[in-house]
């Protein structure tokens, strides 16, 4: 039901309302119906007058509709930060380990992928296989070199702020 409503509102050029409805759902639709008097649940297409009235609603409530859309982005951003913090903590634990393998598994993976890609190119494997290996290699290179460079440049500054953020996010959930 909401997907039809979202298409109906989005098709009328009311993208801000559409995105807010997508995030908040039926409760926001009911508020808009109450405020405008337009039955959005109706299967009839919106008339030109209704579109104008909804556009006016969108313009007058722009800030609150934008805040609804931004709330979800903020939560996603916080979860991405937490994931990065957890990854950094795993790296720190690996480096504290006495095991040679745990300290060197990432560099060994990098070497294995480089060698596999070289062999795949010279063995004339299908282009799709080489492309997949190259894509994987690109991610590993980025992860290993960019991640290590960032850790060295910041000198642990990220670690302290990351732990504080992790505590804040975990406390807020």
Over the stretch 115-169, which tens digit does the pLDDT of each residue have?
999 999 899 899 998 899 888 888 888 777 776 655 555 555 555 555 565 566 5
pLDDT at 116: 92
Q: Are residues 85 and 111 in the same domain?
A: yes
Q: Are residues 23 and 46 in the same domain?
A: yes
Q: Give a yes or no: residue 69 inside a domain.
A: no
Q: Give a yes or no: residue 68 inside a domain.
A: no
Q: Are residues 36 and 110 in the same domain?
A: no
Q: Are residues 51 and 81 in the same domain?
A: no
Residue that finishes a domain, picked among 15, 30, 60: 60
pLDDT in tens, 98-107: 788 877 888 8
Looking at per-residue pLDDT, the higher value among 34 and 151 belongs to 34
pLDDT at 115: 93
pLDDT at 107: 83
The band of 173, judged by pLDDT with boundaries at 50, 70 and 90, is very low
Residue that finishes a domain, picked among 20, 38, 60: 60
pLDDT in tens, 51-98: 888 888 888 888 888 887 777 777 777 777 777 777 777 777 777 877
Q: Are residues 15 and 87 in the same domain?
A: no
How many domains, in total, are found in the chain? 2
Q: Are residues 91 and 166 in the same domain?
A: yes
Q: Give a yes or no: residue 65 inside a domain.
A: no
Query: What single string gives the DSSP state of each residue in the chain?
Result: -HHHHHHHHHHTT-HHHHHHHHHHTHHHHHHHHHHH---TTSSSPPPHHHHHHHHHHHHHTHHHHHHHHHHHHHHHHHHHHHHHHHHHHHHHHHHH-S-HHHHHHHHHHHHHHHHHHHHHHHTT--HHHHHHHHHHHHHHHIIIIIHHHHHHHHTTHHHHHHHHHHHHHHHH-
pLDDT at 94: 73
Q: Are residues 92 and 9 in the same domain?
A: no
Q: Are residues 81 and 125 in the same domain?
A: yes
Domain of residue 9 covers 2-60
Q: Are residues 78 and 129 in the same domain?
A: yes
pLDDT at 167: 62
Residue that finishes a domain, picked among 60, 85, 104: 60
Answer whether residue 38 shows pLDDT above 70. Answer: yes
pLDDT at 32: 80
Q: Are residues 79 and 56 in the same domain?
A: no
pLDDT at 4: 66
Answer whether residue 12 shows pLDDT above 90. Answer: no
Q: Are residues 104 and 137 in the same domain?
A: yes
């Amino acid at each position: 039901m909401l997907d039809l409503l979202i298409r109906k509102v989005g098709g009328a050029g009311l993208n801000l309302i559409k995105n807010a409805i997508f995030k908040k759902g039926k409760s926001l639709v009911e508020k808009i119906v109450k405020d405008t008097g337009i039955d959005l649940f109706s299967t009839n297409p919106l008339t030109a007058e209704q579109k104008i009235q909804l556009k006016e609603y969108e313009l007058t409530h722009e800030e609150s509709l934008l805040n609804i859309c931004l709330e979800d982005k903020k939560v996603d951003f916080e979860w991405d930060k937490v994931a990065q913090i957890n990854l950094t903590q795993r790296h720190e634990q690996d480096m504290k380990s006495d095991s040679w393998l745990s300290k060197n598994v990432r560099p060994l993976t990098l070497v294995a992928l480089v060698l596999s890609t070289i062999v795949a190119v010279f063995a004339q494997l299908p282009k799709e296989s080489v492309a997949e290996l190259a894509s994987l290699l690109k991610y590993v290179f980025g992860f290993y070199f960019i991640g290590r460079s960032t850790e060295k440049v910041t000198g642990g500054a990220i670690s302290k702020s990351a732990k504080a953020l992790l505590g804040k996010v975990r406390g807020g959930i």
